Amino acid sequence: MKVMTLRSPAGLENLRIEERDDPGAPTPGTIRVALHGSSLNFHDLGVATGKSPSADGRVPLSDGAGVVESVGEGVTEFAPGDHVVSCFFPDWQDGAPTIGDFSRTPGDGIDGFAQSHVVLPATAFTKAPEGYDHVEAATITTAGLTAWRALVVDGKLKAGDTVLLLGTGGVSIWALQIAKAMGATVAITSSSNDKLERAKGLGADFTLNYREEQDWGRKVADWAGGRGVDHVVEVGGPGTLAQSIDAVRVGGHISLIGVLTGRGGEVPTAALMAKQARLQGLIVGSRREQQDFVRALEATGIRPVIDRRFPLDALADAFAYEASGGHFGKIGIEW
């Protein structure tokens, strides 16, 4: 079967299609899935470019969606023909976080989904949202579930809350859609006025170009009645955290998700203490949380925003497009 692999040294020029043996029939407790879709994440780009080192010959892509072809003995949750989507942490089924690295994350510590078929434990998948195509389904594995956990699971979002989102990438646009569906009021930042207009079309209540307004955290706090917002989905990291603390209300919640501006830096501890805000790091979520998210998507009718779709054999081009920062929402891969 055809498989996309990443050869050493890592780099987009070393992504190549290879032939590998078919995984065969499912064994007890496993399912055989014909894969048809994926989506790109910042984490995937890090693996592909070598910033997150992985093994020579690794199959990339942490998101995978497709159709169950057959099931192994003892599997009752799925049947042939079911549409399924992968889990970012296939071993984290439920409860509190159990892993803090990517050693068992597809496309990083283990092979990912840039291939035609896999045979994996049934517990490494959930059912896809009803009516989603395979690329749409794949967007929930990493970006969608991250936004869901940040706002709903950890943040306890409720109608009437105010939310600040940074940028218009996959996590932030998912968070915008979730927050609006839950009855929240949303502010969002970007360096592109065109993207801010698109965000307004999705329901954003307040938009701000952070390149045109240096003190954007204070501006957002003023917009939120001077008290600050209830939730911040912080995808930037050290370069934006101080502004996020300025924007959040006393006793508010900041979900620390991204490292777009770097992996380390100063934390304005005095400001954070004065705000008495909860700064919580998170990496995606559990299988149970993904199942809850799927039910919410089916209840609300939310559909992901797909900026562009690329064929699998153009994966390097898709990553180059992601690296350019020109996308709004998710970048899809389909085959």
β-pair type (229-234, 248-256): parallel
* Residue 194 maps to a domain: yes
8 A C-beta contact, residue 214 and residue 240: no
Per-residue pLDDT, 260? 58
The band of 183, judged by pLDDT with boundaries at 50, 70 and 90, is: very high
Q: What is residue 103's three-state secondary structure?
A: coil
Quickly tell me which residue has 């998101």 as its tokens: 63
Q: Are residues 156 and 255 in the same domain?
A: yes
| Cα(185)–Cα(182) distance, integer angstroms | 9
Q: What are phi and psi of 212, to 5 degrees?
A: -90, -15
Mean pLDDT of the chain: 96
Per-residue pLDDT, 237? 84
Closest CA to 38 of 62, 72, 11: 62
CATH at residue 154: 3.40.50.720
The band of 209, judged by pLDDT with boundaries at 50, 70 and 90, is: very high
Q: Are residues 235 and 312 in the same domain?
A: no
Count the Cβ atoms, other than its own, within 10 Å of residue 119: 17
Q: Which DSSP string do the residues of 283-316 spell out, in sequence order?
A: -S--HHHHHHHHHHHHHH-----EEEEEEGGGHH
Quickly tell me which residue has 């079911």 as its tokens: 82
Per-residue pLDDT, 239? 85
Q: Are residues 271 and 309 in the same domain?
A: no
8 A C-beta contact, residue 192 and residue 199: no
Per-residue pLDDT, 322? 98
39-43, 202-206, 247-251, 259-263: which has the minimum mean pLDDT?
259-263
Per-residue pLDDT, 265? 66
* Residue 128 maps to a domain: yes
Per-residue pLDDT, 262? 59
Per-residue pLDDT, 266? 76
**pLDDT tens digits for 19-34?**
999 999 999 999 999 9
Q: Are residues 109 and 227 in the same domain?
A: no
The pTM is what? 0.96
* C-alpha distances in Å from residue 179, one per residue of 116, 185, 186, 224, 262: 35, 7, 7, 15, 27
Q: Are residues 79 and 166 in the same domain?
A: no
* Residue 298 maps to a domain: no
Domain with 244, as residue range(s), is 146-281
Per-residue pLDDT, 263? 65
**pLDDT tens digits for 81-138?**
999 999 999 999 999 998 999 999 999 999 999 999 999 999 999 999 999 999 999 9
Q: Are residues 156 and 269 in the same domain?
A: yes
Q: Are residues 98 and 121 in the same domain?
A: yes
Each residue of 64-79: b (16+ CB within 10 Å) or e?
bbbbbbbbbeebeebe
Closest CA to 99 of 114, 81, 87: 87
* Residue 292 maps to a domain: no
Per-residue pLDDT, 264? 66
Q: Are residues 23 and 95 in the same domain?
A: yes
Q: Are residues 121 and 95 in the same domain?
A: yes
CATH at residue 16: 3.90.180.10
**pLDDT tens digits for 225-268?**
999 999 999 998 888 999 999 999 999 999 999 765 556 667 78
187-201, 212-226, 266-280: which has the minimum mean pLDDT?
266-280
The structural domain count of the chain equals: 2
